[in-house]
């Protein structure tokens, strides 16, 4: 089934669920008028439906590959990327000083969702570039900004993020890549990085790598790490790609999914790089990029969930099998069967919830930028790990249920249902696993004593829905309890706490939607009657603490 960009649904969420009008009312984002929003969503939706969606299967069947040291991308990906770049979609939220549109990050996330639904393997490329632009805007010298940002925005050059090393994994502080001062304002970067999304391509003039490395006087751990811009080709005096830098793609990973996205092992052999930000402050600079990417990855999970849902529901409506209680009043398809309908409605409920959480988070970030209000910043920071984890968990669950709805045909590659599950599975792993997101939520994000969490719960309270109000109250009590626990007990309950928070948020968003449009009330009832009760079970898990986990020895676990 061809993908159809959910333009009207996105507009509904912005207008009636997350209060985007507050963003448009600020001086910073005054140009984000209703007419502008409509034009952006409509044009981007058309591109994603007509240009990008046909590429999704091509990337899976004809993966990117390494040929004599050159990465060859999937058929049509170069044209697809050019459509994204020429439309201005890469630099939507970038500073107009360097050629960006200066639009709210909320609109960028809305467009990114549709691009990811169209072709997630390709969407990874501009997502990495967008994060790099933000990091350079916040931390790079004016000279680096003037050279790199305009070309990143235009799509002439593409950006990557180089953190992970074979021996380090999520422990970034254990990196071994080193940087040595060349004495001329540049540094020699030596080391190996793995899992580098879009580490190279055959359609960009230059690939700009942001690389974490340690200077000789850098302290151990993350405190001694610096960040460097290391381009594939060294810019000449005119700012054009010149001679090749001493770096290369060693190999491409053979992955479960996302075959059209080349994931590279990168080798740097005294490669020339430029310091971004202050020495030994690289993690602060990289986190600017990573926080952008974490929300973006949550949106990627949502992207696949939307596409997989459309695919599965279309199949269910077409598949005729068996008799149901609806009889002649139904569609005559398997969608009339109670269990198939359960799966379809679970999909619909969670896709809406994931979209609303992501857009709410983006609105908070935009309001923080526009107003400088610390409360908005705290709200955005608190919602980011929830948006990332719930968005990607939803993508995996919806894609998995999509395979189930197809029955045996879901296990057959020709139907395309399995690709969604294979492609989305990694989103719960990269940019910080979902477990790390949950630990961040109960750790760093509760360092304020729960103030940000309580502010969000205050905003949700008073729904006059008995079940939701009870869940909100229970979540407040749980938050107070977690704040009083030691960190190990918090971590043991982190994942269920995040899941419970997402369930409560989702139910509240559905009720707002039903108030704005009564035709949405039946779906809201599914959200509150069938899925909201899961929040109470998750909260019970979150209170169980760490003792039971560590009472079982490693020998018993491995037996």
∠ Cα 297 388 352 (to 5°) = 95
HEC assignment per residue over 46-113: HHHHHHHHHHHHHHHHCCCEEECCEEECCCCHHHHHHHHHHCCCCCCCCCHHHCCCCCCHHHHHHHHH
Q: How many Å apart are CA 447 and CA 378, to the nearest integer?
A: 11
431 is catalytic: yes
Q: Which two tokens stand for residue 384?
A: 């980011």
Q: How many Å apart are CA 140 and CA 157, to the nearest integer?
A: 17
* 206 close to 157: Cβ distance less than 8 angstroms: yes
Exposure of 75 in the CB half-sphere (CA atoms within 13 A): 6
Q: Return the residue matching tokens 């107070």.
A: 480
Q: How many Å apart are CA 65 and CA 252, to the nearest integer?
A: 7
Catalytic residue among 58, 113, 431, 538: 431
Give which of 73, 350, 86, 378 is closest to 198, Cα–Cα. 73
CB neighbour list of residue 227: distance below 8 Å, 6 or more residues apart: 135, 139, 210, 211, 212, 275, 276, 277, 281, 282, 283, 285, 286
Q: How many Å apart are CA 260 and CA 422, to the nearest integer?
A: 12
Q: How many Å apart are CA 8 and CA 508, to the nearest integer?
A: 20
Residue 114 CB burial class (10 angstroms; 0-12, 13-18, ≥19): buried
Q: How many Å apart are CA 313 and CA 341, to the nearest integer?
A: 9
Give which of 472, 473, 477, 484 is closest to 446, Cα–Cα. 484
DSSP state of 485: S
453's enclosing H/E stretch is helix 451-460
Give which of 451, 465, 438 is closest to 532, Cα–Cα. 465
Question: What is the signed CA dihedral for 41, 44, 46, 52, rounded to 10 degrees?
Answer: -140
* 419 close to 3: Cβ distance less than 8 angstroms: no
Question: What is the signed CA dihedral for 510, 516, 521, 527, rounded to 10 degrees?
Answer: 0
What does the chain come to in residues? 559
How many other C-beta atoms can be found within 10 angstroms of the C-beta atom of residue 185? 10
β 187-197/263-276 pair status = antiparallel
Residues annotated as catalytic are 431
């Amino acid at each position: 089934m061809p993908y159809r960009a959910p333009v009207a649904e996105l507009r509904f969420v912005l207008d009636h669920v997350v209060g985007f009008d507050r963003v448009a009312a600020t001086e910073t984002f005054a140009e984000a008028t209703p007419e502008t929003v409509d034009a952006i969503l409509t044009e981007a939706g058309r591109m994603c439906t007509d240009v990008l969606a046909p590429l999704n299967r091509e990337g899976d069947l004809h993966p990117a590959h390494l040929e004599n040291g050159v990465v060859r991308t999937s058929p049509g990906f170069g044209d697809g990327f050019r459509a994204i770049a020429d439309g201005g979609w890469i630099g939507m939220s970038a500073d107009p000083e360097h050629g960006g549109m200066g639009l709210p990050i909320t609109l960028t996330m809305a467009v990114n969702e549709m691009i990811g639904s169209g072709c997630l393997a390709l969407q990874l490329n501009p997502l990495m570039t967008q994060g790099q632009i933000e990091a350079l805007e916040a931390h790079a010298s004016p000279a680096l900004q003037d050279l790199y940002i305009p070309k990143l925005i235009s799509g002439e050059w593409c950006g990557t993020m180089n953190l992970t090393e074979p021996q380090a994994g999520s422990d970034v502080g254990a990196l071994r890549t080193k940087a040595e001062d060349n004495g001329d304002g540049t540094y020699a970067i030596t080391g190996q990085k793995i899992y580098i999304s879009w580490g190279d391509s055959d359609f960009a003039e230059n690939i700009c790598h942001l690389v974490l490395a340690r200077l000789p006087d850098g302290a151990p751990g993350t405190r001694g790490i610096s960040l460097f811009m290391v381009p594939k080709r060294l810019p000449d005096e005119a700012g054009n790609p010149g001679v090749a830098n001493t770096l290369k793609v060693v190999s491409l990973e053979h992955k479960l999914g996302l075959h059209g996205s080349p994931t590279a092992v990168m080798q740097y052999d005294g490669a020339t790089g430029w310091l971004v930000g202050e020495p030994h402050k690289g993690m602060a600079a990289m986190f600017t990029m990573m926080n952008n990417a974490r929300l973006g990855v949550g949106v990627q999970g949502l992207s696949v969930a939307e596409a997989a849902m459309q695919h599965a529901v279309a199949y269910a409506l077409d598949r005729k099998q068996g008799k149901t209680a609806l009889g002649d009043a139904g569609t005559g398809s398997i969608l009339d069967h109670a269990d198939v309908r359960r799966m379809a409605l679970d999909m619909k409920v969670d896709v809406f919830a994931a979209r609303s959480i992501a857009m709410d988070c983006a609105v908070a970030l935009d309001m923080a930028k526009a107003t400088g209000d610390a409360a908005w910043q705290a709200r955005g920071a608190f919602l980011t790990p929830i948006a990332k984890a719930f968005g990607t968990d939803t993508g995996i669950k919806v894609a998995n249920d999509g395979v189930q709805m197809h029955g045996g045909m879901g296990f057959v590659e020709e139907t395309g249902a399995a690709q969604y599950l294979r492609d989305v599975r990694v989103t719960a792993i990269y940019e910080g696993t979902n477990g790390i997101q949950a630990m961040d939520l109960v750790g760093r994000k509760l360092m304020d004593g729960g103030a940000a969490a309580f502010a969000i719960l205050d905003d949700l309270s008073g729904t006059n829905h008995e079940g939701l109000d009870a869940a909100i109250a229970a979540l407040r009590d749980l938050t107070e309890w977690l704040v009083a626990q030691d960190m190990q007990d918090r971590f043991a309950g982190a994942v269920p706490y995040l899941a419970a928070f997402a369930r409560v948020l989702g139910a509240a968003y559905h009720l707002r939607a039903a108030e704005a449009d009564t035709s949405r009330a039946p779906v809201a009832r599914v959200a509150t009657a069938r899925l909201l009760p899961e929040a109470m079970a998750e909260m019970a898990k979150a209170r169980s603490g760490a003792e039971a986990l560590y009472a079982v020895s490693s020998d018993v676990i491995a037996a």
